[in-house]
A and B are shown apart, each in its own frame.
Chain A
Amino acid sequence: DIQMTQSPSSLSASVGDRVTITCRASQSISTYLNWYQHKPGEAPKLLIFAASSLQSGVPSRLSGSGSGTDFTLTISSLQLEDFATYYCQQSYSSPWTFGQGTKVEIK
């Protein structure tokens, strides 16, 4: 199985901050990488697929980049609604695997 490692596991930030979350795959996965946002009690939400393609309805302050083994999710200016846990997921080979999550908390 492909292992996905996210860093940091949590971070504290203020509204307006630029936030970067990193995801590393245990082997090259080209751009087969998705990002999700999850808030407690809500359904997880797909944000970005194919490493950098923004899902419909997702604000443009979110962006994804990377290929191979190293990927980044960036929030250019953190808003209140962005405080959540973020997960990466590889879609290169089954079984589809997720990172352990990065919790973004209010500073």
Chain B
Amino acid sequence: QLQLQESGPGLVKPSETLSLACTVSGDSIRSSSYFWGWIRQPPGKGLEWIGSIFYSGITYYNPSLKSRVTMSVDTSRNQFSLKLNSVTAADTAVYFCARHLTAAGYNCFDPWGQGTLVTVSS
């Protein structure tokens, strides 16, 4: 059964870089033609798609965050990662990773990790 688990610091200082990793278990990150995505949820707010990456390194990002986001894949660790630079309090959120399915043009996220809370504060 495919499982995803987010990891990384729970506290980041303003103006610094938020770095998270998502470890995939139960399947190889490169064994299937899937994208892998990041989604976040600020406290009391809705879900926001951040971006997605293919195992080959192809990425596409939400334009609202594109200037600050970098995603990468480490196939040797079966992980993909998120970096968000120049963070502010508005970046405080629960960050989820998920498999991004694109079959027949239908884009959906399944399964998801449980999420990790990242707080931006000095």
- Which of B64, B108, B113 is within 8 Å of A91, CB to CB? B108
A residues apposed to B, CB below 8 Å: 1, 32, 34, 36, 41-46, 49-50, 55, 87, 89, 91, 94-101
Task: Tell me which of B60, B105, B108 contacts A34 (CB under 8 A).
Answer: B108
Complex Cα distance, B58 from A21, in Å, reads 36
Known A96-B49, A99-B46; judge A43-B108 contact (CB<8 A).
no
What's the nearest-Cβ distance from chain A to residue B64, in Å? 7
Q: Mark B40-81, 1 if CB is under 8 A from A, else 0.
A: 000001111100000000001011100000000000000000
User: How distant is the Cα of A36 from the Cα of B45 in the complex, in angstroms?
Assistant: 16
Name the prevailing secondary structure of the A interface residues: loop
* Selected contact of B96 from candidates A1, A44, A94, A97, CB within 8 Å: A44
Q: How many residues of B contact A (CB 8 A)?
A: 25
Knowing that A42-B114, A95-B64, A101-B47 touch, tell me 13 more A-B residue pairs with CB under 8 angstroms: A1-B64, A32-B105, A32-B107, A36-B109, A43-B114, A44-B96, A44-B109, A45-B111, A45-B112, A89-B109, A95-B63, A98-B49, A101-B46
Given contacts A32-B106, A44-B96, A50-B106, contact A97 B49 (CB under 8 A): yes
Q: Are B62's CB and A95's CB within 8 A?
A: yes
Chain B residues with CB under 8 Å of A41's CB are 114
Residues of A within 8 A of B112 (CB): 43-45
Closest Cβ of chain B: how far from A52's Cβ, in Å? 12
Instruction: With a 10 A CB-CB cut-off, give which of A44, A50, A89, A100 has the most chain B CB atoms.
Output: A44
| Contact between chains at B114 and A87 (CB < 8 Å) | no
From residue 67 to 122 of chain B, which have CB atoms closer than 8 A to chain A? 96, 98, 101, 104-115
- With A50-B106, A94-B60, A95-B62 in contact, is A43–B49 under 8 Å at CB? no
